[in-house]
Amino acid sequence: MVTDNDLDKLRSLQEIIYEKIGLEKSVQEIPKLLGTQEELLNRLKKTFIEKNQEYEKIKAEEIDLRGKLTEAESAREKSEKDMDIVNTQRAYEALDKEIRDASEKEQIYRKDIQTKERNLVELDEQIKGQTALIEHQEKELEDRRKKIEAEINDKQKQIDLLRKKESKLTEDLDTEVVFKFERIIKNKMGIGIVAIKGNVCMGCHMILPVQFANDVRIGDDFIFCPYCSRILYYEESAEGEEDFFNTEDTGSLSDLDEMEEDDLDEEEEEEEKVNVDFEE
């Protein structure tokens, strides 16, 4: 027999379960708040690596240019010395051309080296700036992570406390009823137990067979609405029972038995599809 005490337990349990589910959802969602900041940090690190690689590449090119400049200078100096010992016009013209070619290469190499040096200075400044920014972001991320961990721990303590209250309330209740009741609360915006007035469910406002409503009124056992799956309890209507009963489109008890079997299967799918935004 379902007593008023049992119904009061379910109402209290409803509040506890709904709050617990909200906290559990919050615990799952909180770490996602770090996602944007972690993504920003990863992008900074990626850019930092790319800048360093570019710096090393330009540095290698600069070293190579300095080697070529040294070779060009040596070639020019050698040709200039050989000018003192030439004894033919043809040899003189050949050496003069070598000197001019070497001088032109020196100018090109020096100009390219200056360009590389400027690029290296700019990259070095960018790398230093990114290093400082990465360090700042890492510290900020770590601080935020600690705050989030503290928040999660606090919410977990609240969840543990609610579970203890839940366990105490469900000691004398059927485990199958409690399990289904929790799923209903999760899928029905926190409302798992509603009144039936006359033969109308106040949860989904569907008209139920008169005999079904009478079974709820008698209260031999917990009865679930075949339409919205909520637990039903009887509540006297202000209009008077005879006037309130609606016998149109009520179906039969055998229809409800078939609906309850289908509803159990549908609830499994509904639990996966429905995404409820719980208030913390």
Whole-angstrom Cα distance, residue 270 to residue 15?
A: 21
Query: What torsion do the CA atoms of 178, 179, 184, 185 make, to the nearest 10 degrees?
Result: 70
> What integer pLDDT is reported at residue 87 of this predicted model?
84
Assigned domain for 19 exists: no
Counting as low any pLDDT under 50, the low residues of the chain are: 242-244, 247, 249-261, 263-264, 267-268, 270-280
Residue 93 contacts residue 83 (beta carbons within 8 Å) = no
If asked whether residues 110 and 208 sit together in one domain, one would say: no
Residue 184 contacts residue 230 (beta carbons within 8 Å) = yes
Residue 109 contacts residue 65 (beta carbons within 8 Å) = yes
Instruction: Name the domain boundary from 167, 196, 231.
Output: 167
If asked whether residues 178 and 163 sit together in one domain, one would say: no
Assigned domain for 140 exists: yes
Helix (H) / strand (E) containing 22: helix 4-29
If asked whether residues 161 and 242 sit together in one domain, one would say: no
Assigned domain for 95 exists: yes
> What integer pLDDT is reported at residue 240 of this predicted model?
52
If asked whether residues 74 and 154 sit together in one domain, one would say: yes
* Residue 138: CATH number of its domain: 1.10.287
> What integer pLDDT is reported at residue 239 of this predicted model?
56
What are the tens digits of pLDDT across the range 256-267?
A: 444 444 544 554
pTM: 0.60
- The domain in which residue 241 lies consists of 174-273
If asked whether residues 193 and 161 sit together in one domain, one would say: no
Q: Name the phi and psi angles at 274, rounded to 5.
A: -80, 125
If asked whether residues 230 and 154 sit together in one domain, one would say: no
* Count of structural domains within the chain: 2
* Residue 252: CATH number of its domain: 1.10.287.1490
> What integer pLDDT is reported at residue 246 of this predicted model?
52
> What integer pLDDT is reported at residue 278 of this predicted model?
39
Instruction: Name the domain boundary from 110, 139, 167.
Output: 167
Whole-angstrom Cα distance, residue 132 to residue 204?
A: 59
If asked whether residues 68 and 107 sit together in one domain, one would say: yes
If asked whether residues 195 and 66 sit together in one domain, one would say: no
What are the tens digits of pLDDT across the range 217-245?
A: 999 999 999 999 999 999 876 655 544 45
Tell me how long the chain is: 280
Whole-angstrom Cα distance, residue 40 to residue 220?
A: 61
Task: Please report how the helices 175-187 and 253-273 are oriented relative to each other, as an axis angle in degrees rounded to 10.
Answer: 60
Residue 102 contacts residue 75 (beta carbons within 8 Å) = yes
